Amino acid sequence: MCAAVRAPRALPESVQRSGPFGPLGQRRAYPLLPEQIHPVVRIAHRMAGGLTIPERIILDHEIVLIVKGAGEWVCDGERRPLAAHDLLFIPPFVPHAFFADPRTPVEHIAVHFDFAAECPPATRALQGRSPYRVRFTHGLEIARQRRLFSGHRIARALVDVVAAHGSGGVLGPAQATVHLAGVLLALLASPAASAREPDTAKHARRVQAIVKHMTDNLAGRVNHAALERVSGLSTSRLQALFREVTGYPPLDYLRRLRVEEARRLLADSRLSVKEIAARTGFPDTSQFSRVFRRVDGLSPAHYRDALLAGR
């Protein structure tokens, strides 16, 4: 379904302080076991624009996913480039700022949270917090910045966090907590595993190459034999690796890419459903409608009606 994108708005003062800052003092460390992660989601939104932010500190933790656009950010005095699919982790009481490139449209997801209700102890309001940090046991840590790719399972989970948090339903907060807990556990990386990082990077590059081949050939025939040639892997290894990185088997992921492109094309009322089916690799409108309904819950015609009606 279409994800709502909100207009830019300022964050509540309760979660941030603007610079300049004097000495912040030593941050008290709160140890946390992985099984103690039960996040409290404070803010979760998807915004167009709004990513030029002067120096500030936040009083809880934040995850930012760059959906579209480019720019730079400064974190703890270090300047780094930003691009689409970058995931940022910002701890509390660490000065940082964002500078969006004005030449590119920017869209991002932001989630403010605590790892658990008692970490730090919830005896004071957010504004009363003194500098602190969460220290994970077993040498675990979360990188400040990492590059995902289109359709990555962590990116999809963050979309789910935003949807659940903004649903207004009784179960919304609990569902947002579950989705965010999965994101945080996926982001934790042990330094002991750093020796395996070259393999991890190689796997990610292989999956990216496969996704690019799929994207470039949405209207054509894509089968396991073609994906084996692109990846240099056997079908069984390809299936296991692709599912590990994306959460889906390769051909299921391909169907979702095709439906995603079909959604975009359905916004053009000049194109018939038959034309869109052909452009996205479906042999006929019957199979197109069946797959589209299975992924999106609506037929292509009903999706177009809702889209053009602004729902």
Q: What is the CATH number of the domain that holds 120?
A: 2.60.120.10
Low-confidence stretches of the chain (pLDDT beneath 70): 1-13, 122-124, 189-201, 310-311
Question: What is the residue whose two structure tokens read 């990555």?
Answer: 152
At residue 201, the pLDDT reads: 64
Q: Which residues pair with 40 in a beta bridge?
A: 114
At residue 3, the pLDDT reads: 47
pTM over 0.85: no
Assigned domain for 130 exists: yes
Q: What is the pLDDT of residues 96-117, one digit of tens each?
A: 999 999 888 899 999 999 999 8
At residue 191, the pLDDT reads: 46
Domain identity same for 129 and 182: yes
Domain identity same for 32 and 156: yes
Name the residue among 192, 208, 194 with its Cα closest to residue 241.
208
At residue 184, the pLDDT reads: 95
Domain of residue 218, residue span = 196-311
Which of these three, 134, 168, 189, is where a domain ends? 189
Which helix (H) or strand (E) covers residue 102, if one does?
Answer: none
Long-range contacts of 52-55 (CB under 8 A, 24+ apart): 52/98, 52/99, 52/100, 53/97, 53/98, 54/18, 54/19, 54/97, 55/18, 55/19, 55/20, 55/21, 55/95, 55/96, 55/97
Which of these three, 129, 159, 189, is where a domain ends? 189
3-class DSSP assignment, residue 307: helix
Name the residue among 104, 80, 87 with its Cα closest to residue 150.
87
At residue 142, the pLDDT reads: 92
Assigned domain for 6 exists: no
How many residues appear in the chain?
311
Q: How many domains does the chain have?
A: 2
Q: Which residues pair with 17 in a beta bridge?
A: 57
Domain identity same for 116 and 263: no
3-class DSSP assignment, residue 23: coil
Alpha-carbon dihedral sign for residues 262, 265, 269, 271: negative
Number of helices (H) and strands (E), helices first, in the chain? 9, 14
At residue 123, the pLDDT reads: 63
Task: Please state, in angstroms and rounded to a whole number, the distance separating the CA atoms of residues 243 and 239.
Answer: 6
At residue 310, the pLDDT reads: 65
At residue 12, the pLDDT reads: 53
Which of these three, 189, 223, 248, is where a domain ends? 189
